[in-house]
């Protein structure tokens, strides 16, 4: 039974949500995560995912391994970035082995891959104007350093990227960087359609998977994608600032070189020879010593996701966000809200964006007076991230119910106006 | 009482070493680390330092904090890279607050700082030909990307860098990158003398502190250094692949910009504005999301070092390596060994290099038949790293004694010849 069946028709009662939880074939994964937060409803896993027992155990085991094995641990750790990359590739990215690494931050990985692509091909760099800031800033820097045009692609604030518009912007470009799921709207772009359109226009396509890896299926190999990067601290639940990942399609490995020529990418690394010569494989995109302890949590995350299966995760993401959309229509639309996320499940990732002119104060009131933890994105969006592995349908129902009740009672009107903040 | 007094005169008996241990004012720190390895003598802390109880507790506490605070933890974590940098600056680097960050890997930090320096100033890049590989490879890439000459500075394989030779090579250069302590020989270069000589020649000086931070005092501010990078997994004991650090002298912050324009360096980060504009402070050299869990161990390491005091650590480093030098002369010189480390304590860091034509097989025999863990560096060096916080004088005595006995008995002659290896 798909998740969608049980929400068809009828009023959206909490009993319906509870029925969905009972039927949830991923429901057993919730207890694999640490909660212990009583009445709190956490819907910010799109910013920082929960701690799993598996991740905690993997981190502890690796710390213990450091203590006992010391430097001899490197016999196993030396290829951990590649093994974790392969595990992510299989579980989350639709990538065959030998094309992914877990290492560095998303920002540094984007810099390495985009820098390699721009060095290999002439032309502009294209990025949507509303893409995540670090992507735009990194590309702005690379465009200036390489003397390239930076084309900012305007788009609809809610809808997925339009294939024809992206293909038009890609004409004569070296590189097009796109988010698979938009960080604000949750809109899911059709990777299988856009990838060949960009390539036909002559550019590399580099996918930012931060908001899709672990939330929806990512068809990197199947779509013929060139490059990708993403983080593991959102839907992959590997912890705050955990190692990110990168993907380079095997066919591009011979032609692409990292601008950061570090010793972990060197052929015959411990010969410590006079000249840099990168390894043939994806390891050429490593830089410094890999973060061994952090990689343990990435490996645990990939293993849990493989156990759950990304197809089931994707189905549940559609159902959870679908329930949120329906509750928005029923409970919030009359309170000044509008939906900041596509209505078609096929066009969404695993978070929904609820727009309201007073979103900042509503978000604060939710946290301080309703014990619901979402996040806010300027200018007017409240994001509800609904990671399928540990979010219940009743969590969605309760969170939206508390939100509606709070706005109906005007609780947010007593909150201070927006000031500088850090999350 | 200084450490040196007790080793003056007399035969080098184990009783002497035991006496030095009893008088060691840092002796109490040994029990702050996890050992549990029986008869094993670990002298490879120059590659990977031991696990301390403090680091384990800090890692566990931060994992627990992730589990309970989730995204709200970022209120404290958002400036953790700077706080850990300041703590390292005070404890290990001789740096006032606001000039150091703990983040990324040494390789990535070197790329950021060297890239910023080369973008800001015309001229060649200078690096010793025998410097650590990742430094040379990163600079080779930057030189090619910026169209600069890469000057490889030849040097003595044992002695510290010569001030006049470095100053001569620095003429007309943009940047000179030097290791404070050489990774192979342990030779300690005079930062206070070389820094102004390079600057007078017109270049920035960037110090690689991987083999000196936490082992000897590092006078960054006092010497007027421009830039520095280093790791925290050697003498700082923050774990395999732990976050590295960087230092930028405050006076240079306005003129230098990271080539990797990440969102964590952006002014008003969460405004997510259209254009990149870095913060005024050293935070402009952050890139992506900081590795929160790893930074907890860095903070713990800085706190322990502050408690011990870098002056005492440096004194003990001199005494430990001094004992090793004397034992070399007494026990090893007649067995085909030569000293690959400066004889004057003022010219050494905290490891010694013992050279032998059959070093590879001797190193393997030490590990497999004598339970001593050093490391090997091509072509002919066995490195004994002697981190002052947990190494006993009797460890030095026992390790050298086992080494001498093993070579006298010809145990190494039964070992296979060198093959490919990973550490």
What pLDDT is recorded for position A4?
57
| A337 in active site | no
- Identify the band that residue A14 occupies on the pLDDT scale cut at 50, 70 and 90: very high
CA atoms within 13 A on the CB side of A31: 2
| Range of lowest pLDDT (A29-43, A281-295, A394-408, B105-119) | A29-43
Q: Measured between alpha carbons, how far is residue A144 from residues A314, B119, B122, B261 in Å?
A: 39, 12, 18, 11
The rounded mean pLDDT for chain A is 95
HEC assignment per residue over chain A: CCHHHHHCCCCCCHHHHHHHHHHCCCHHHHHHECCCCCCCEECECCCCCCCEHHHHHHHHHHHHHHHHHHHHHHHHHCCHHHHHHHHHHHHHHCCCCCCEEECCCHHHHHHHHHHHHHHHCCCEEEEECCCCHHHHHHHHHHHHHHCCCEEEECCCCCCCCCHHHHHHHCCCEEEEEEECECCCCCEECCHHHHHHHHHHHCCEEEEECCCCECCECCCHHHHCCCEEEECCCCCCCCCCCCCCEEEECHHHCCCCCCCCCCHHHECCHHHCCCCCCECCCHHHHCCCCCCHHHHHHHHHHHHHHHHHCHHHHHHHHHHHHHHHHHHHHHHHHHHCCEECCCCCHHHECCEEEEECCCHHHHHHHHHHHCCEECEEECCCEEEEECCCCCCCHHHHHHHHHHHHHHHHCCHHHHCCCCCCCCC
- Is pLDDT above 80 for A421? no
pLDDT at B384 exceeding the cut of 70: yes
Hey, which residues of B are catalytic here? 132, 208, 233-234, 383
pLDDT band, residue B127 (cuts 50/70/90): very high
Compute the nearest-CA separation of B110 from chain A (Å): 9
Separation CA A45–CA A50 (nearest Å): 7
The alpha carbons of chain B give a radius of gyration, in whole angstroms, of 22
In Å, the largest CA–CA distance within chain B is: 72
Instruction: Tell me what pLDDT residue B269 has.
Output: 86
* Nearest residue to B55 via CA among B215, B294, B388: B294
- Residue listed under structure tokens 């005494």: B319
Average of per-residue pLDDT across A88-107? 98
Mean pLDDT of A40-46: 95
Q: What is the DSSP letter of B134?
A: H
DSSP B189-204: P-HHHHHHHHHHTT-E
Of A59, A141, A239, the CB nearest to B276: A141
Q: How far is B48 from chain A (nearest CA, A)?
A: 6
Rounded mean pLDDT, A109-125: 98
Residue B422 has pLDDT above 50, yes or no: no
| Cβ(B6)–Cβ(B23) below 8 Å | yes
Buried b (16+ CB within 10 A) or exposed e, A232-270: bbbbbbbbbbbbbbbbbbeebbeebbbbbbbbbbbeebb
Give the model's confidence band at B48: pLDDT under 50 very low, under 70 low, under 90 confident, else very high: very high
Taking CA atoms, A410 is separated from A335, A360, A378, B260, B419, in Å, by 10, 14, 21, 44, 73
CB neighbour list of residue A319: distance below 8 Å, 6 or more residues apart: A2, A3, A4, A7, A20, A345, A393
Residues in B 370-409 with any Cβ partner in A closer than 8 A:
373, 375, 377-378
The verdict on pTM exceeding 0.95 is yes
**Backbone φ, ψ for residue B376 (5° rounding):** -115, 140
Is A287 at the interface with chain B, CB within 8 A? yes
Between CA B113 and CA B122 the distance in angstroms is 15
Cα separation, A416 vs A390, in Å, equals: 32
Is A162 catalytic? The answer is: no
Query: Is residue B167 helix, strand or coil?
Result: helix
Mutate to test the interface with B, among A33, A50, A70 (most CBs of B within 10 A): A70
CB A219 within 8 A of CB A193: no
User: What average pLDDT score do residues A69-87 get?
Assistant: 97
Interface test with A, best of B66, B75, B177, B391 (most A CBs within 10 A): B66
| Contact yes or no for A71 and B47 at CB 8 A | yes
Give residues with Cβ within 8 angstroms of A91, minimum separation 6. A302, A303, A305, A306, A310
Distance from the B75 Cα atom to the nearest Cα atom in chain A, whole angstroms:
6
Contact A291 B294 (CB under 8 A): yes
Rounded distance between C-alpha atoms, residue A266 and residue A246, angstroms: 18
**Average pLDDT for residues B335-360, to the nearest whole number?**
97
Residue-level pLDDT at A8: 56
Would you say B263 and A107 are in contact if contact means Cβ atoms under 8 Å apart?
Answer: yes
* Overall average pLDDT of the B128-134 stretch: 94
The CA distance from B369 to A72, in Å, is 15
Cβ pair B294:A289 closer than 8 A: no
- Residues of chain A with Cβ-Cβ distance to B263 below 8 Å are 107, 132-134, 137
Among A195-204, B6-15, B180-189, B193-202, the minimum mean pLDDT is found in: B6-15
Half-sphere exposure (Cβ direction) of B161: Cα atoms closer than 13 Å: 33
**Lookup: tokens for A264:** 């972990």
B423 pLDDT more than 50: no
Least confident of A282-291, A373-382, B313-322: A373-382
Place B413 in a pLDDT band, splitting at 50, 70 and 90.
Answer: very high
First and final CA of chain A: distance in angstroms? 38
Q: Report chain A residues whose CB lies below 8 A from the CB of B287.
A: 105, 107-108, 111
Q: Decide if pLDDT at A131 tops 80.
A: yes
Identify the burial level of A28 via C-beta atoms within 10 angstroms of its C-beta, where 0-12 means exposed, 13-18 middle and 19 or more buried: exposed
Higher pLDDT, B82 or A156: B82
- Which two three-digit tokens encode residue B262? 């990440």
pLDDT value at residue A169: 97
Whether A128 has its CB under 8 Å from any CB of chain B: the answer is: no
* Distance separating alpha carbons of residues B193 and A318, to the nearest angstrom: 65
- What is the residue-averaged pLDDT of chain B? 95
Domains of chain A by range and CATH?
Answer: 3-32+309-413 (3.90.1150.10), 55-307 (3.40.640.10)
Per DSSP, what are the bridge partners of residue B25? none
**B31 touches A: beta carbon within 8 Å:** no
d(CA A391, CA B409): 66
Q: Indicate yes or no: CB of B293 within 8 angstroms of CB of A239.
A: yes
> What is the pLDDT, as a whole number, of residue B6?
46
Residues of A in contact with B75 (CB under 8 A): 422-423
Label residue B260 by pLDDT band (50, 70, 90). very high
A157 — pLDDT class (breaks 50, 70, 90): confident
β-pairing, B204-208 vs A41-42, is: unpaired
Looking at the complex, does the CB of residue A242 fall below 8 Å from at least one CB of chain B? yes
The arithmetic mean of pLDDT across residues B16-21, rounded, is 96
Token pair of B62 as six digits: 């931060």
DSSP per residue, B218-240: --HHHHT--EEEE-SSSTT---T
Supply the pLDDT for residue B149.
98
Task: Choose the weakest-confidence range: A193-207, A260-274, B327-341.
Answer: A260-274
Contacts A32 to B, Cβ<8 Å:
none
In the structure, what pLDDT confidence band is assigned to residue B419 with cuts at 50, 70 and 90? low
Shortest alpha-carbon distance between residue A7 and chain B (Å): 30
**Cβ distance B237 to B214 under 8 Å?**
yes
- Read off the pLDDT of each residue in A377-394 and give the average, rounded to a whole number: 96
Amino acid A264: pLDDT: 95
Average pLDDT over residues A364-372: 96
**Residue B421: pLDDT above 80?**
no
pLDDT reported for residue B268: 86
Cα angle vertex A312, ends A308, A314, to 5°? 115
B51 vs B36: CA distance, rounded Å: 11
Measured between CA atoms, the residue of chain A closest to residue B44 is A71
> What token pair was written down for A190?
């059709």
* Residue A374 Cα distances to A369, A418, A419, angstroms: 13, 16, 18
Mean pLDDT of all residues in A341-363? 97
Q: What is the pLDDT of residue A269?
A: 86
Residue A272's pLDDT is: 81
Is residue A392 annotated as part of the catalytic site, yes or no? no
Per-residue confidence (pLDDT) for residue B10, from 0 to 100: 63
Cβ A264–B294 below 8 Å, yes or no?
no
**Residue A285 and residue A229 in contact, taking contact as beta carbons nearer than 8 Å:** no
- The length of chain B, given as a count of residues: 423
Catalytic site includes residue A208:
yes
A289 contacts in chain B (CB < 8 Å): 105-107, 231, 233, 240-241
Give A88→chain B minimum CA distance, Å. 19
b/e per residue, A341-378, with b = 16+ CB within 10 A? bbeebebbbbbbbbbbebbbbbbbbbbeebbbbbbbbe
Burial of A21 (0-12, 13-18, 19+ CB in 10 A): middle
Confidence of residue B409 (pLDDT cuts 50, 70, 90): very high
Query: How far is the alpha carbon of A154 from chain B, nearest alpha carbon, in Å?
Result: 12
B374: closest chain A residue by CA: A71
In the numeric block, which tokens belong to residue B319?
């005494």
Q: What is the pLDDT of residue A310?
A: 98
d(CA B303, CA B55) in angstroms, rounded, equals 10
> How much is the average pLDDT of B110-129?
98
Is the predicted ipTM greater than 0.85, yes or no? yes
> In residues, how long is chain A?
423
Top residue of B80, B134, B371 to mutate, by most chain A CBs within 10 Å, is B134
Which pLDDT score is estimated for A302?
Answer: 98
Q: How far apart are CA B127 and CA A142, in angstroms?
A: 26
Q: Is B276 exposed, middle or buried (0-12, 13-18, 19+ CB in 10 A)?
A: buried
Interface with chain A: mutation pick from B38, B53, B84, B107, highest number of A CBs within 10 Å: B107
Tell me how crowded residue A162 is: count the other CB atoms within 10 A of its CB. Answer: 16
């Amino acid at each position: 039974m798909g998740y969608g069946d049980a929400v068809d028709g009828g009023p959206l009662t909490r009993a319906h949500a509870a029925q969905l939880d009972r039927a949830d074939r991923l429901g057993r994964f919730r207890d694999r995560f640490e909660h212990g937060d009583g009445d709190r409803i956490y819907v910010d896993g799109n910013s920082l995912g929960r701690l799993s027992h598996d991740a905690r155990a993997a981190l502890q085991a690796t710390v213990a391994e450091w203590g006992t094995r010391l430097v001899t641990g490197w016999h196993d750790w030396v290829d951990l970035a590649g093994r974790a990359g392969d595990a992510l590739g299989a579980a989350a990215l639709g990538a065959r082995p030998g094309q992914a690494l877990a290492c560095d931050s998303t920002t540094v990985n984007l810099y390495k891959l985009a820098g390699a692509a721009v060095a290999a091909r002439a032309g502009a760099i294209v990025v949507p104007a509303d893409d995540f800031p670090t992507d735009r800033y990194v590309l702005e820097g690379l465009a200036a350093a390489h003397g390239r045009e930076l084309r900012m692609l305007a788009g609809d604030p809610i809808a997925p990227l339009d294939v024809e518009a992206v293909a038009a912007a890609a004409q004569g470009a070296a590189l097009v960087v796109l988010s698979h799921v938009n960080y604000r709207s949750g809109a899911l772009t059709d990777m299988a359609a856009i990838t060949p359109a960009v390539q036909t226009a002559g550019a590399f396509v580099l996918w930012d998977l931060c908001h899709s890896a672990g939330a929806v299926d990512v068809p990197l190999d199947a779509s013929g994608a060139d490059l990708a990067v993403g983080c593991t601290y959102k839907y992959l639940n590997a912890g705050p600032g955990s190692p990110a990942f990168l993907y380079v399609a095997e066919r591009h490995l011979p032609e692409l070189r990292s601008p950061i020529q570090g010793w972990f990418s060197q052929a015959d690394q411990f010969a410590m020879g006079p000249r840099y010569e990168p390894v043939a494989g994806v390891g050429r995109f490593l830089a410094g010593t890999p973060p061994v302890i952090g990689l343990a949590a990435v490996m645990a995350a990939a293993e849990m996701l493989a156990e759950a299966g990304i197809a089931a995760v994707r189905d549940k993401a559609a159902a959870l966000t679908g329930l949120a959309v329906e509750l928005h229509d029923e409970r919030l639309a009359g309170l000044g809200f509008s939906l900041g996320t596509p209505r078609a499940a096929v066009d969404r990732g695993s978070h929904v964006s609820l727009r309201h002119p007073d979103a900042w104060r509503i978000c604060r009131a939710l946290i301080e007076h309703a014990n619901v933890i979402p996040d806010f994105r300027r200018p007017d969006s409240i994001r509800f991230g609904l990671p399928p592995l540990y979010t219940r349908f009743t969590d969605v129902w309760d969170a939206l119910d508390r939100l509606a009740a709070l706005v109906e009672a005007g609780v947010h009107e007593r909150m201070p106006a927006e000031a500088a903040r850090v999350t």
